[in-house]
A and B are shown apart, each in its own frame.
Chain A
Amino acid sequence: MTLNSGNSSSTADRTVIFDEVRKVLVEQCGTPDDIVVNLTEQDLMDELGLDSITLAYVFTYFEQKHDLTFENDDIDPLRYQTVSELIDVLAGRISEAAAEAR
């Protein structure tokens, strides 16, 4: 899979995906509102404490909503330095699934 810093999806798509990540973190994972509200794409993953369990919920949300499959490697938090890289992977997979469906 290619990591492409958002080039495969529009800015609007990234905004929607980012909002959905926020939603999962708050509603499913109990991440405090103040952390999520202030979350930016430049934030470092290891400072947010997003481990593999939390990411399993984030990825499962997108799998179930968009009918696609992530690799378990995607759930490895060490794979991402920033939130932006996480959004890249989510956006890339969603774009790929949409392209396959067409």
Chain B
Amino acid sequence: MSHATAEDDRPYVFDPATALGWKNIGLDGLGCFLRSVEAVLLHQGYGAADVARGLAAPLDLVRRGEWYGPMSEFPACTARWYLSDIGEGRSQWPRVAELVTSGTPVVLMPDGHHWPGDDHEGKEHYHHHMVLAHRLDAEGLHLLDTDAPADGGHRRILPVDDALRSSCTRYAVLERIDPPGGRRPGEPATALVRPSLVPLAEDIAELRAFHGEVWSGARLPLLLAKGMDVWVLGDVQPQLFLLGHALAESDDPRVAEVSRASLAAAARAQKVGLLLLGLHRFRSEGVYAMAHEEIAVLADACEELLAAMCRYAGVERLRVTGDGLRLVQRLRGEAQWCFGEGRPLPDLSFD
């Protein structure tokens, strides 16, 4: 007896035409991890608007807590992570293969040292990219990869060899996925705006203190610059982007104002992210000053969002102060998670 469902016949795809706000590059709005999560939800029958409402959570831009991997708790699902030590990725391969073979897609965050084509292949054990593994057959492991050529549908197939097995140090599986269509337009405003007010006010204060007191715009250690990039493109941009889209279809003009302000702030964050990527590549002194100044512009955009949120909620803007140190801890933690290679990074200073 067949248990085939509509989802079984639907391919996993990275399709800019159906994805949420994917205009030019995969980094439009969401990063490599959330594009993978989105592909799973689309496969489950979600539309782009459902994806936004299913993944948008109250803002926590400088995320609280000690988890430095990707945001993994969403209204519509949870990403459960399975981690092994550096050099132990091979031990996780049988489970990855079993899952994918049985039809459960896996978000793979490979060890770049073993990952074919990675900038750090054969060198550092960096974990700085994620792909969606969705099929395993005689050809190999089928992947959706935001870095793969667009004209090939962002698809890759990797042969199953020692390198692939060894690269499987980190993977995630989506659990408790809600059925699509469970959230109506406008419904998220109540759940998203008020719980965002205090964290956003605090995080803007962190951002301003970071810009004004912690980082002068001087050259940064490379791994710290990379950590900033992970934070901006992995946390800040997608949270703002998802919130903006989740509220986009509301009839309430105050909610629409919040949506517009959030999408404008997300666009600023994407630009900061591109500038931070340039820090890795260009390494001239001038690029640091330019990126530094854009941090203040991002804070201004977040301030406008907070003002719109306060108008929606009918409250005064909360006055808080920050010293930038919580943001510094977040940046160091995310740099450690991605580039730590299983041992503490040297003290990374912004001075």
Contact = CB atoms under 8 A, between A and B. Distances in A.
A52 B275 CA distance: 10
Contacts of B281: 30, 53
Contact of B282 (A28, A52, A61, A71): A28
B290 interface: yes
B275 A60 contact: yes
B23 A73 contact: yes
Interface stretch (B119-127, B172-180, B266-274, B314-322): B266-274
Contact of B290 (A54, A64, A78): A64
B274 A56 contact: yes
Contacts of A54: 278
Contacts of A60: 271, 275, 290, 294
Q: Does more than half of chain A's interface fall in helix, strand or loop, or is it mixed? A: helix
B283 A57 contact: no
B31 to A, nearest CB: 15
B271 A75 contact: yes
Contacts of A75: 271, 274
Looking at chain A, what size class is its interface with the partner chain? 10 to 19
A28 B25 contact: no
B24 A76 contact: yes
Contacts of A61: 290
Interface in B276-300: 277-278, 281-284, 286-287, 290, 293-294
A27 interface: yes
Q: Does more than half of chain B's interface fall in helix, strand or loop, or is it mixed? A: helix
Contacts of B286: 27-28
A76 B23 CA distance: 9
A2 interface: no
A75 B25 CA distance: 11
A72 interface: yes
Interface string B59-92: 0000000000000000000000000000000000
Nearest to A26: B284
A56 B293 CA distance: 13
A44 interface: no
Interface in A43-68: 52-54, 56-57, 60-61, 64
Given A53-B281, A60-B275, A75-B274, 16 more contacts: A30-B284, A52-B25, A53-B278, A56-B274, A56-B275, A56-B278, A57-B278, A57-B282, A57-B287, A57-B290, A60-B271, A71-B267, A73-B24, A76-B23, A76-B25, A78-B24
Interface of A: 27-30, 52-54, 56-57, 60-61, 64, 71-73, 75-76, 78
13 contacts: A27-B286, A28-B278, A28-B282, A28-B286, A29-B284, A30-B281, A30-B284, A53-B275, A53-B281, A56-B271, A56-B274, A57-B282, A75-B271
Q: Sort A-B residue pairs by CB-CB distance and give the 3 closest, nearest first.
A: A56-B274, A76-B24, A28-B286
